[in-house]
């Protein structure tokens, strides 16, 4: 499939017809940034129902780790579908679920034995971590971070603090959650730079919140994304993660890393937390783990996962077809795709960084591996956010055949399949450059 190849106005006639039907019957709570109606995909290429093709740097929100319909994944899924579709790993045994748990144990970012709990999504992985943290510590309080996104079920939503629309109207949420400031290094509150940073942004948590508001011996867990995803692709510096580990260890608090978006090879390591050398107590995994099939995992140090039969379970969690996809995905990640994410991710980031001189709209380019964000601002000095411009750029890119997504208030995110080639990365940069040029000329 040659990409991009735009043959109709967008949306084309078939896409427009489907979108009209969708508008009548689908929940209006979904956030569709532009009118893409997919017909099929292969690798990083997507074809819509009108025959237009696009370069996919969104991957179904960082999910299609091995690319669209990777032949090895499709083969494994098909073979498993012919054996059995479901048996509920909560009540019966099957080898695939054990194999995925073993494969995850082999790559877990912590030493020693680990155990896996299977759900179907990121939010379920977080719910499991929350429940397990409370259960095992017998403490109730949780610390999460402003800007964080952990899902939309009531427990996970209580941690989520990304946009008010996600919480508005749904209260009261789960009590016992306190939010702290995250590391926004582009807007560092103490004006530090990477070489002069001792993660001072954690001072208020350590010296005020945990002194004046919440007693640390009542805190079950600190839940953190090593790179905030929905929050705007903010990379926590290594010192931040290290200081959190130190703080939590001192008070017997569990450190839970939400790797739903940043995990499974995306940042050039299996888990983003590995970049900091920090070993967490639990890891929430979903999105990329099964290349597009629904699977969520709460991975915990084995010593913590001692809840009794009946304490927590999910009928569909660890579905055998999803597990077959996960096993194949983990193999492909280990064999080549994590490395590819690191190498091609560097190239993508370098290409985007090279646009800084040309486009005053770009305030910051950041990320790790194939998790790259470009923050757009109205003015580089004041760093005033440019949300409308961001939305316009995402749409202009779409019209040129590049699929990207917004993140946070004014950031564009690139989270392509990890099979992205160097040539495709260059194409993405070129199309993004053109989109910026178009928007700059119309908005000035």
**Site residues for ligand PLP per CB under 6 A:** 61, 121-123, 126, 149-151, 225, 229-230, 258, 260-261, 286
Complex with ligand PLP: residue 229 or 320, whichever CB lies closer: 229
Pick 283 or 429: Cβ nearer ligand PLP: 283
Cβ proximity of 345 and 338 under 8 Å: no
User: Min. distance of Cβ 121 from ligand PLP in angstroms?
Assistant: 4
- Report in angstroms how near the CB of residue 229 gets to ligand PLP at its nearest: 4
User: Which of 241, 242, 239 lies closest to 197, judged by CA?
Assistant: 239
- Beta-strand ranges (E) seen in 201-345 are 219-224, 227-228, 234-235, 254-258, 282-285, 296-301
Residue whose CB is less far from ligand PLP, 229 or 408? 229
In the bound state with ligand PLP, the residue whose beta carbon lies nearer, of 47 and 225, is 225
Q: How far is the CB of 7 from ligand PLP (least distance, A)?
A: 32
Q: What SS3 class is residue 260?
A: coil
DSSP states of 131-189:
HHHHHHH---EEEEETT----SSHHHHHH--S-GGGTTT--S--SSEEEE----GGG-T
Q: Are 429 and 355 in contact (CB under 8 A)?
A: yes
Q: Give the H or E element holding residue 82.
A: helix 71-83
Taking CB positions, which residue lies at the least distance from ligand PLP? 122
Residues 6+ apart with CB under 8 A from 17: none
| Minimum CB distance to ligand PLP, residue 317 (Å) | 13
Answer for the pair 99, 116: CB distance below 8 angstroms, yes or no.
no
Distance in Å, CB of 422 to ligand PLP, minimum = 27
Question: Of 52 and 120, which has the nearer Cβ to ligand PLP?
Answer: 120
Beta bridge partners of 256: 223, 282
Minimum CB distance to ligand PLP smaller for 230 or for 375: 230
What is the nearest approach in angstroms of ligand PLP to the Cβ of residue 284?
7
């Amino acid at each position: 499939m040659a990409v991009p190849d735009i043959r109709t106005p967008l949306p084309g006639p078939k896409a427009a017809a489907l979108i009209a039907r969708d508008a009548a019957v689908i929940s209006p709570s979904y956030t569709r940034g532009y009118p893409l109606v997919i017909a099929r995909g292969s690798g990083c290429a997507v074809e819509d129902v009108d025959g237009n093709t696009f370069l996919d740097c969104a991957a179904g929100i960082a999910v299609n780790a091995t690319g669209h319909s990777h032949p090895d994944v499709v083969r494994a899924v098909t073979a498993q579908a012919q054996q059995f579709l479901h048996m509920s790993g909560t009540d019966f045994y099957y080898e695939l679920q054990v194999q995925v748990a073993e494969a995850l144990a082999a790559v877990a970012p912590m030493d020693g034995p680990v155990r896996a709990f299977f759900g179907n999504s990121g939010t379920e992985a977080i719910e499991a971590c929350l429940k397990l943290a409370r259960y095992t510590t017998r403490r109730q309080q949780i610390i999460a971070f402003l800007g964080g996104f952990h899902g939309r079920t009531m427990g996970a939503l209580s941690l989520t603090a990304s946009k008010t629309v996600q919480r508005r109207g749904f209260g009261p949420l789960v009590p016992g959650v306190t939010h702290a400031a995250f590391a926004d290094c582009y807007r560092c509150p103490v004006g530090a730079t990477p070489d002069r940073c001792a993660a001072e942004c954690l001072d208020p948590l350590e010296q005020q919140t945990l002194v004046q508001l919440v007693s640390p011996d009542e805190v079950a867990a600190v839940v953190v994304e090593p790179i905030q995803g929905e929050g705007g692709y903010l990379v926590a510096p290594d010192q931040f993660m290290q200081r959190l580990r130190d703080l939590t260890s001192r008070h017997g608090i569990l450190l839970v890393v939400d790797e739903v978006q940043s995990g499974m090879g995306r940042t050039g390591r299996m888990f983003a937390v590995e970049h900091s050398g920090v070993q967490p107590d639990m890891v929430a995994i979903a999105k990329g783990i099964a290349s597009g099939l629904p699977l969520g995992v709460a991975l915990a140090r084995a010593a913590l996962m001692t809840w009794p039969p009946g304490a927590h379970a999910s009928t569909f969690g660890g579905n055998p077809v999803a597990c077959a996809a996960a096993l194949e995905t983990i193999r492909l990640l280990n064999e080549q795709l994590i490395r590819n994410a690191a190498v091609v991710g560097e190239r993508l980031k370098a290409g985007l960084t090279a646009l800084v001189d040309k486009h005053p709209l770009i305030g910051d380019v950041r990320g790790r591996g194939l998790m790259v964000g470009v923050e757009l601002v109205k003015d580089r000095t004041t760093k005033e956010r440019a949300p409308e411009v961001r939305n316009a750029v995402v749409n202009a890119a779409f019209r040129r055949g590049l699929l990207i997504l917004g993140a946070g208030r004014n950031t564009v995110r690139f989270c392509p399949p990890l099979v992205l080639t160097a040539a495709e990365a260059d194409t993405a940069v070129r199309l993004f450059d053109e989109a910026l040029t178009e928007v700059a000329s119309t908005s000035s």
